[in-house]
Amino acid sequence: MGAPQNRLFELAVRLKRIGVDVTVLTAMPNYPQMKIYDGYEGKDYLYEEIEDIPVHRASIYLPKSKSIIQRLLNYFSFVYSSAKVGNSKIGDIDIIMCESPPLFLGYSALYLKRKKKAKLIFNVSDLWPESAEKLGVVTNKWMLKLAYNLEAKLYRKSVLVTGQTQGICKSINQRFPEVKTYWLPNGVDISYYNPSTVTGNWRKENGFQENDVLFLYAGIIGLAQGLEIILSAAEKLKGNSAIKFILLGSGPEKEKLQSIQKEKQLTNVYFFDAVSKMQMPQIVQASDVSIIPLRKLELFLGAIPSKIFENLSMEKPVILAVDGEARELFVNQGQCAIYSEPENLEDLVKNVELLTNNSILRKQLGEKGRIYVEHNFNRNTIANNFHEILHNL
């Protein structure tokens, strides 16, 4: 469960089908509740197979608070356990692909690279520690220096650095021109997220009416998203009883947002817990529009939130409150999303009203979205192209 987990799992499955011998090294499942799942508790190591892919699970310490010490214990417990399990349980390998963040997992990757005499691909989904510093998540200068030094070392020790967006690749190349980068975009399984195959009626099951216009945010409820703006829009639009806002997911800001909802008595805002991937097509199908915001930071000009792809594949229009690369791809090129300036409340309210009152526009944007992601962000095509890169290495 989670965006990186889904993206990497889908890539692994497709590489396996093509003929790559894929092995996964990961932690005991715990996201998003930060609690080890039933059946996995108290284990230092566990082996299982998921869709014929060998999965080696190592232990991980789950923090009891949000303090920097607890977060470090969380990161480094898995650095240690993954290095130990990887060395003892996994045989010969040609290539290690390490996901970042968490950046510190790079220590484990470097250790296993040396022990296994393997090549390293470092896969960057978020420019860490830069994003952590700019969001104010990490302020300790010693820790930031350690992280920036590790980032540079990992790029230079990798045979290839893959970036989830073109902006990530560009940033790395500007700072490290000698590093070879490759854009490995996120995408969507268009056969799984297919509006013609969805069954069930999530809207009716959860008490919403057919004439309600449901605006969905589904994903992590964190600092980067700046989701307070959705609650502010809900306050301004509470005179229109048809407009309903759904926030689905978990994250560090959820309790704060729920407190705001209660304080302002926003009866048009509904919170739902995170669900499994299996339930998402039905929920997206039940909604009318997806709202995808990020805070107004230069850092996010190269960001492409993963939830864009599933919504477009399900023929749902998107209000995209993200500037930069995402705006260029989905607003300008794909013409399947409406741009809303990040953190601009009046802009968001105007776009919500526009799509509430224009069902024809909603349908047109949705149809264009499905065509655009099918042609440009099909997971099968992405995996086939990456397979060629692996052979060239």
Per residue in 276-324, pLDDT tens?
888 999 999 999 999 999 999 887 888 899 889 999 999 999 999 999 9
Q: What does DSSP say about strands 269-272 and 289-293: parallel, antiparallel, or unpaired?
A: unpaired
CA distance 77 to 164: 26
- Predicted confidence at residue 143, as pLDDT, reads 81
Pairing of strands 213-218, 289-293: parallel
Together in a domain, 262 and 136: no
Is 365 found in the same domain as 264? yes
Domain containing 240 — which CATH number? 3.40.50.2000
Q: What is the pLDDT of residue 132?
A: 77
List 181's β-bridge partners, or say none. Answer: 161
Residues 163 and 304 in one domain: no
CA 303 to CA 114: how far, in whole Å? 32
The helix (run of H) or strand (run of E) holding residue 25 is strand 24-27
Same domain, 63 and 205: no
- Identify whether residues 290 and 233 lie together within a single domain: yes
Q: Residue 10 belongs to what H/E stretch?
A: helix 3-18
On whether the CB atoms of residues 267 and 104 are closer than 8 A, the answer is no
User: 312 and 173 in one domain?
Assistant: no
Measured CA to CA, the distance from residue 110 to residue 108 in angstroms comes to: 6
Question: Does residue 126 share a domain with residue 252?
Answer: no
Q: What range defines the domain where residue 66 resides?
A: 3-187+378-392
| Residues 219 and 264 grouped into a single domain | yes
Same-domain status, 203 and 338: yes
Does residue 159 sit in the same domain as residue 288?
A: no
Residues 179, 30 within the same domain: yes
Cα 355 to Cα 363: distance, rounded to the nearest angstrom: 10
pLDDT along the chain (393 residues), means of 10: 86 96 96 87 95 96 82 89 97 96 94 97 90 76 87 97 93 95 94 92 94 95 93 96 96 94 96 90 96 91 89 97 95 96 97 97 97 96 96 90
Minimal CA–CA distance to 293: which of 244, 347, 353?
347
Mean pLDDT over all residues of the chain? Answer: 93
Query: Do 281 and 136 belong to one domain?
Result: no
What is the distance between the terminal CA atoms of the chain, rounded to a whole angstrom? 31
What tokens were used for 175?
A: 């700072």
Number of domains in the chain: 2
Report the alpha-carbon distance of residue 5 to residue 71 in Å, rounded.
Answer: 20
> What is the pTM for the complete model shown?
0.81
Tokens 């306050």, located at residue? 235
The dihedral of CA 55, 59, 64, 69: what is its sign?
negative
| C-alpha neighbours within 13 Å on the C-beta side of residue 388 | 7
What pLDDT score was predicted for residue 32? 73
On whether the CB atoms of residues 286 and 208 are closer than 8 A, the answer is: yes
Supply the pLDDT for residue 140: 77
DSSP state of 196: G
Task: Give the count of beta carbons closer than 10 Å to the beta carbon of residue 12.
Answer: 20
